[in-house]
Structure 1
């Protein structure tokens, strides 16, 4: 299953008191849809899901589904390191009209590969929704091996994986040994072009909040056979992509959105705003891209 080439893992806008700001959320959704986003992940790590209450998650997912109104697919982040809590949240969002769910590899518990398999299998068997697996060992402390993903891909409603291991060899194996209707998405903006080159479907992106149209153009150039132009564009965009991770995500991208006039508020503890030095680096890279592509 394919959700398009450019999926945005959406930030969660907050107001001055740190509560979800639904007016800002609606404006952000409209901005993303106008700037290249083909699907939206809501309540992912970029949406600060670890700091949202269960009730906030339900309200946010339901609200975004309503605002989007079937214009693009909505993928709800319902994963955690608690299998049955993830299953319960998944069942609750089914009735909201989401198009799929994203399940992160269980963090902190450090399960075995067999445990990882059984975790995802148990949730998959309890829902009819399509499932995007999410492998991000840098945050979870455990790497879901290609063999595990290949085995999970045999389950009908497990349709794709967001791969943020950074291992192109492992990704090549996954793409080669999974069914043709199973998709692999980059979980790292900076690897979008390399992953397209090995047969990946696209990217679940943070940078698309700021350079969605430019990333779409790069993807289009590559798929049209203009690989040299795509490579040049990748080279232009890479420093900004890297600066958007100068501090823990989503702190830099929220700051960048505010710089370009899309108010999403600050971050919740334990995340903190950028330092002056970090702000300076981010603003410099935004300025360079703006000079080239007229962003913001």
Structure 2
């Protein structure tokens, strides 16, 4: 696989956790410190308030505060992408308009969850959002959380018909579908792995990189993997990937982002707990996570 161009938003994009204080209120100062830490660690762009950022429990006014704070901290060094996706098309359109005013560089929009629209509904949902803004949009397909899969033909229809639909975060686990999208997408449309552990497999199919959970904890390590792959140094990429794989999988032994927040605490960069209905890591989970982190060399 030969990569002939650099993707618009780069190859390693951490999906930032959302820091909270002891009262589980937004900790905007810590969010700015984390954003700076990730930029310095090698992130090519940042996704703010996605799944890993606990988007279901961060209300719209708080999301806008968070976007604004991260944009200020990043200060133009890399793109900041706001997750604005919702399962109501009209709400998404209105919220995207407010988010754009915070200075972000693009949007991510998830497949609508719970209401289970048919493929035509998915197409019209995303087409309506795309038509309402000039901002570049990353689609996000994650059937495990949304209960439906956006089929390859629907993704391609959007990619070909909407100039500002520029990428997809594919977390379907369906490699046949992912390859179909890659092979038939228009020039300039980027396919990202939605799972750290699938990144190399998807890049071998022609995907450009990853929107990453582990990138919060070990951004330099994940960045090295995707950059090696992009240069065609597959043996070195596979070796680096294998060395980090136990943690890629270990962070998902319970619901994300419980363990990625715990991992940041373990490395000395606490970002607070999680909001209900999520619950913090148990002592047993923390001990196992620490063992995995030592195994892969992320924790002394």
TM bracket, shorter-chain basis: over 0.9
The match for 1:196 is 203
Separation of aligned partners in 1, 2:272 and 2:154: 39
Separation of aligned partners in 2, 1:63 and 1:225: 37
The match for 1:55 is 61
Aligned with 2:14: secondary structure? strand
Separation of aligned partners in 2, 1:120 and 1:226: 36
- Measure how far apart 1:233 and its partner are: 1.3
Counterpart pick for 1:216 among 223, 227, 232: 223
- Measure how far apart 1:295 and its partner are: 5.2
Alignment of 1:19-30 (within 5 A): 19-30=25-36
- Measure how far apart 1:224 and its partner are: 2.6
1:159 has 2:166 as partner:
yes
Contact preservation (8 Å) 2:197, 2:248: yes
Contact preservation (8 Å) 1:133, 1:161: yes
Contact preservation (8 Å) 2:159, 2:189: yes
Aligned with 1:32: secondary structure? helix
Alignment of 1:252-271 (within 5 A): 252-271=259-278
Over the aligned positions, Cα root-mean-square deviation in angstroms equals 1.1
Contact preservation (8 Å) 1:210, 1:295: no
Please, which moves more after superposition, 45-54 or 221-230? 221-230
- Aligned pair count? 293
Aligned with 2:218: secondary structure? helix
Aligned with 1:132: secondary structure? strand
Counterpart pick for 2:112 among 84, 99, 106: 106
Alignment of 1:30-179 (within 5 A): 30-154=36-160, 155-179=162-186
TM-score, length basis structure 2: 0.95
Unmatched segments (≥5 aa) in structure 2: 1-6
TM-score, length basis structure 1: 0.97
Aligned with 1:106: secondary structure? coil
Unmatched segments (≥5 aa) in structure 1: none
Separation of aligned partners in 2, 1:207 and 1:30: 16
The match for 2:192 is 185
Separation of aligned partners in 2, 1:41 and 1:211: 16
